[in-house]
Amino acid sequence: MPDPGLIILVALASVPLLVAAVATAPRAAGWIAAAVPALLFVGFLAAAPAPGEQALGALPWLPSLGVALAWRLDGLSLLFALLITGIGALIFLYAGAYLRGHPQIDRFFGAIALFMAAMLGAVLADDLVMLVVFWELTSLSSFLLIGFEGGRSSARRAAVQGLLVTVGGGLALLAGALLLGGIAGTYRISEIAARAAEFAAHPWAPLVVALIVVGAFAKSAQAPLHSWLPNAMAAPTPVSAYLHSATMVKLGVYLLARLNPVFGGMPLWVELLTGFGALTMVVGAVLALRETDLKRVLAYSTVVGLGTLVALIGQEDPLAATAAIAFLIVHALYKACLFLVAGIVDHETGMRDASRLRGLARAMPLTATVAALGALSMAGLPPFVGFVAKELLYEANLLAAGMLPAAALVANTVTVIAAGVVAARPFFGRPAPTPRPAHDPGFAMLAGPTLLAALGLLFGLLPGLLGRVLVEPAAAAILGRPTEAKLVLWHGFTVVFWLSVATIGAGLAGYLAWHRMQPLLAGVELFDRYGPDAQYGRALRGLQRLAAWQTRAIQSGSLRRYLALSFLALMLPVGAAMVAGDGLRWPGLDPLPLAHEVGLVALVAAGALVACLARNLITAIMGVALVGFGAGVLFLVLGAPDLAFTQFSVETLAVVLLVAVLARLPFRGTDPRSRGQRVADAGVALLTGVVGGAVLLAALAMPFDTTIPAWMGENAAPAAHGRNVVNVIIVDFRALDTLGEITVLGLAALAAYAVLRRREVRGP
Amino acid sequence: MTGSLILRTSARLLLVTCVLLSVFILVRGHNEPGGGFIGGLIGALGVIVYALAHGRARTLRMLRADPKSMLGVGLLLALASGALPPLLGISPLLTHQWGDLVLGPVALPLGTTLLFDIGVYLTVAGFALAVVLPFAEE
């Protein structure tokens, strides 16, 4: 039985190999790439625990922080792992044909394989920190995939929007996860669940719930954070099918389901999930009716589906958990299928406008058949599995109070309309001309949607099997206790059945009226002008204006102003803190300074005065050099030869550099500042000197703790094999500090190089 | 060709002196005042004076290595000198190791601290050269 933790590592390790393989054999890319998720799928089947059981394991990661690479394979994570790898295999195969001949096909498969590995890590994680890390990795790979066609500005905007929204939510999640782990005393999700009652009583519990819910809502496109999802349709269609309908957007739902045993008893949790879930259902439904682009219609119907899932998880009845899992599977099957169909239509005809595509069934009979099968499941007609799920949905929502039953009715009706618009309308009627002559695609592109549609039918005919093997263990994980999930196709003539009939009737009527209703709704400018997408744009423009303003205010380009601002920003708070905190101290003069020390200090002071008063720049440089070398000699006298050594080298370098620069620049021998500027600069300099001096004096007045220097002195030779304590500190005792410092040096050199190089680039 | 004959000749001498001195200071650093930081600065100083006298292009040819590459190699060396123990699972990052290099009758005590210090040397010298060399004339 393979170790699930090992499967994640294999998935991660396969990414660079896959890129190399695709780069060598781009024509076979789909087949090569599909082998990876297919193998992982088999691995998960082999690793699957018996229904109702779970497998736990961990690798040490940051033991000192209590963080581990801990994984858990139970009903819920197994279901997600199978969806991710199973649908992944079909979509990788499809993408190989969809992107045939694309010059960057290797980059595409690298990003999507990285995404798959990240997704597996996130759903298998039993450690909150590990979950957040992989969660962010899915956002990053999603950014790369949405922006894959980065030449188009819409793709760039959509990629940035998706990243900002999901990573912003990820920050909230990180804060929530750290607080949750801190309160519970462990980051293991499986252990936290056991302390749910304890946690609910904690005063910070509402804050934790709110933070985690925000993270999940951003990822799962809940209103009002939904608008990034339809815009993400700028990605190639396999990405839309994989990330933005079947897997990644369900990660938020997964997290809510995973943490439901912890938070489920809290009223805030129930209110947030059912409230925003219902809102999302209605918002998505209305917006779906405004679109004509096949992919955007599907995207808004995905928003509806995500709202449905969130609302179901928020309900406390066990039936809701069963309904949530059943709908999650069904939605993944039909939505991935229909996205792939939309991709085929786009690929083979050159357009995807539902209002202009007509009569494709004659030219693409196979595609039309697959589309019809997928659409029937989406519309929830028997004997497809969509019908089973919809019956469960209504049953669960009828138990809930408030807006939910009405929202469910609206959502399901619009789902029927959307299914018709995407999968029926383009294929029937009189054929309309298309940019490219329509025809059925090859095997690689048809295999995925066909299999997904066939599964929709198969599970509809065998709902009991689906319920026992997949739904029941996953629903038990949501509830945190065993449950029984009886999925049946035929319930009899119940209220729920008549609701289904009413939904399909209303949906059919809506579908027939769609070509008149859509332009009316699309004409309402209110949505475009004040919707969250417009607000996002406004916020981003505001941010840019703020950035431009503060850049103009601070980055004036004048070196003198930079220095003045830097010194003021440093010295004003320090000075204020010292005065306010009563930190001014005067050290005793014991022992009294020796005569040559006083003389050296006088020399340094003289150099400083010369630098301040000199009108000639070379004289001023000499004054500064006198200060530097004087300080170096002072170090030497006071018994710090290493410091003196460094001071001399740096000072020499500075003088050489200044002379070299002065030789190159149009040389102005004298100080060009006006009198007012000189006075202002003197003020800044005086403040800097006084505050700096006060800090040094106060530090000297503090009693000196000799424990650490004494320890270092004693241990340098025996433990670190060096007699020069300063150097031992630099390279050994505090080597990490040194590594950090030289890294900063490296970055500074690169920045300086970039600035100084510009001149050369602009040359002829 | 920029500097005067005197500058060009003395710069060549200074270069050799500075580089030799800097290596000496680097190596003695563990027991006497010195080390990679100071050594790097002194070495860079010699090269910079050479560049002021002979121009940038000629200096870069003489160096055979881009200062940015020196910087990168230095950083990697410093990191690598301390990365082995944790990779082998012996001890945390940057815990240095010591041993004797036996060459016939002489046993030379050596430690990974020297590698770290060479990394510091290369980084500091690379930094100084990368920042200053653009100012040297062609």
DSSP string computed for A557-585: S-HHHHHHHHHHHHHHHHHHHHHHTT---
Q: Does B133 touch chain A (CB under 8 A)?
A: no
Length of chain A: 764
User: How far is residue A451's CA from residue A336's CA, in Å, rounded to a whole number?
Assistant: 11
**pLDDT tens digits, one per residue of A98-147:** 999 999 999 999 999 999 999 999 999 999 999 999 999 999 999 999 99
Cis peptide before A437, with omega less than 30 degrees from 0? no
Question: What is the DSSP-derived secondary structure letter of residue A185?
Answer: T
Residue B107 to chain A, least CA–CA distance (Å)? 15
Residue in this structure with the two tokens 């009002």, named with its chain if needed: A224
Report how far apart the first and last C-alpha atoms of chain B are (Å, whole number): 8
DSSP string computed for A605-650: HHHHHHHHH-SBHHHHHHHHHHHHHHHHHHHHHTT-HHHHHHHHHH
With an 8 Å Cβ cutoff, are B135 and A660 in contact? Answer: yes
Cα–Cα distances (Å) from B129 to A323, A746, A750, B56, B66, in that order, read 67, 11, 11, 10, 9
Residue B127 to chain A, least CA–CA distance (Å)? 5
pLDDT reported for residue A514 = 92
Q: Does A369 touch chain B (CB under 8 A)?
A: no
User: How far is residue A251's CA from residue A166's CA, in Å, rounded to a whole number?
Assistant: 11
Whether the predicted pLDDT of B1 surpasses 70:
no
Query: Which pLDDT band holds residue B2 (cuts at 50, 70, 90)?
Result: low
Whether the predicted pLDDT of A574 surpasses 90:
yes
Q: Scanning every residue of chain A, which has its alpha carbon at the shortest distance from the alpha carbon of B18?
A: A649
Evaluate whether A721 touches A712 at the Cβ level (below 8 Å).
no
**pLDDT tens digits, one per residue of A423-442:** 999 999 888 888 888 889 99
Of A219-223, A257-261, A325-329, A724-728, the one with minimum mean pLDDT is: A724-728
Q: Tell me which chain A residues have a C-beta less than 8 angstroms from the C-beta of B120.
A: 730-731, 738, 742
pLDDT reported for residue A763 = 43
- For the question of an ipTM over 0.85, the answer is yes
SS3 A640: coil
Q: Does B137 touch chain A (CB under 8 A)?
A: yes
User: How far is residue B128's CA from residue B117's CA, in Å, rounded to a whole number?
Assistant: 16
With an 8 Å Cβ cutoff, are A732 and B96 in contact? Answer: yes
Q: In chain A, pLDDT over 90 holds for what percent of residues?
A: 64
Q: How many CB pairs under 8 A join A and B?
A: 138
pLDDT reported for residue A165 = 95
pLDDT reported for residue A764 = 40
With an 8 Å Cβ cutoff, are B96 and A645 in contact? Answer: no
Q: Is A670 exposed, middle or buried (0-12, 13-18, 19+ CB in 10 A)?
A: exposed
Query: Which pLDDT band holds residue A721 (cuts at 50, 70, 90)?
Result: confident
Q: Does B134 touch chain A (CB under 8 A)?
A: yes
> Alpha carbon A572 to chain centroid distance?
38
pLDDT reported for residue A530 = 87
Question: What is the DSSP-derived secondary structure letter of residue A148?
Answer: G
Amino acid letter at A717?
Answer: A
pLDDT reported for residue A762 = 47
pLDDT reported for residue A459 = 93
User: How far is residue A348's CA from residue A520's CA, in Å, rounded to a whole number?
Assistant: 30
**pLDDT tens digits, one per residue of A513-527:** 999 999 999 988 888
pLDDT reported for residue A14 = 94
**pLDDT tens digits, one per residue of A605-646:** 999 999 888 888 888 888 999 999 999 999 999 888 888 988
> Alpha carbon B8 to chain centroid distance?
23
Whether the predicted pLDDT of A290 surpasses 50:
yes
Query: Which pLDDT band holds residue B16 (cuts at 50, 70, 90)?
Result: very high
With an 8 Å Cβ cutoff, are A748 and B127 in contact? Answer: yes
Interface of B with A in 94-123 (CB under 8 A): 94, 96, 98, 109, 111, 113, 116-117, 119-120, 123
In sequence order, the 6+-apart residues with CB closer than 8 A to the CB of B65 are: none
Evaluate whether A567 touches A680 at the Cβ level (below 8 Å).
no
Tokens of A597: 């020390």
User: How far is residue A719's CA from residue A707's CA, in Å, rounded to a whole number?
Assistant: 17
Evaluate whether A280 touches A301 at the Cβ level (below 8 Å).
no
**pLDDT tens digits, one per residue of A640-680:** 888 898 899 889 888 877 877 776 666 566 777 888 988 99
Whether the predicted pLDDT of A1 surpasses 70:
no
**pLDDT tens digits, one per residue of A317-334:** 889 999 999 999 999 999
Q: How many CB atoms lie within 10 A of CB A595?
A: 8
Partners of A57 in beta bridges: A71
Question: What is the DSSP-derived secondary structure letter of residue A356?
Answer: T
Residue in this structure with the two tokens 């423009």, named with its chain if needed: A541
User: How far is residue A296's CA from residue A234's CA, in Å, rounded to a whole number?
Assistant: 10
pLDDT reported for residue A64 = 84
Per-chain mean pLDDT for chain A: 90
pLDDT reported for residue B105 = 73
Helix axes A250-263, A75-98, angle to 10 degrees: 170
With an 8 Å Cβ cutoff, are B82 and A735 in contact? Answer: yes
Residue B48 to chain A, least CA–CA distance (Å)? 8
H or E element in which residue B62 lies: helix B56-63
SS3 of A677-731: the string is HHHHHHHHHHHHHHHHHHHHHHHHHCCCCCHHHHHHHHHHHHHHCCCCHHHHHHH
Instruction: Show the CA angle centred on residue A126, arms to residues A124 and A131, nearest 5°.
Output: 70
E strands in chain B: 98-103, 106-111
Q: Is A162 exposed, middle or buried (0-12, 13-18, 19+ CB in 10 A)?
A: buried
Q: In chain A, pLDDT over 70 holds for what percent of residues?
A: 98
Q: Does B30 touch chain A (CB under 8 A)?
A: yes
pLDDT reported for residue A668 = 63
Mean local confidence (pLDDT), A298-303: 95
> Alpha carbon A69 to chain centroid distance?
20
pLDDT reported for residue A669 = 65
pLDDT reported for residue A667 = 59
pLDDT reported for residue A131 = 96
User: How far is residue A544's CA from residue A712's CA, in Å, rounded to a whole number?
Assistant: 51
* Mutation choice for A interface testing from B37, B49, B66 by most A CBs within 10 A: B37
Q: Does B35 touch chain A (CB under 8 A)?
A: yes
Residue B104 to chain A, least CA–CA distance (Å)? 22
Length of chain B: 138
User: How far is residue A745's CA from residue A681's CA, in Å, rounded to a whole number?
Assistant: 29
Residue A638 to chain B, least CA–CA distance (Å)? 14
With an 8 Å Cβ cutoff, are A720 and B34 in contact? Answer: no
User: Dihedral of CA A354/A357/A358/A360: which sign?
Assistant: negative
Per-chain mean pLDDT for chain B: 85
Of A657, A732, A757, the CB nearest to B113: A732
User: How far is residue A523's CA from residue A540's CA, in Å, rounded to a whole number?
Assistant: 25
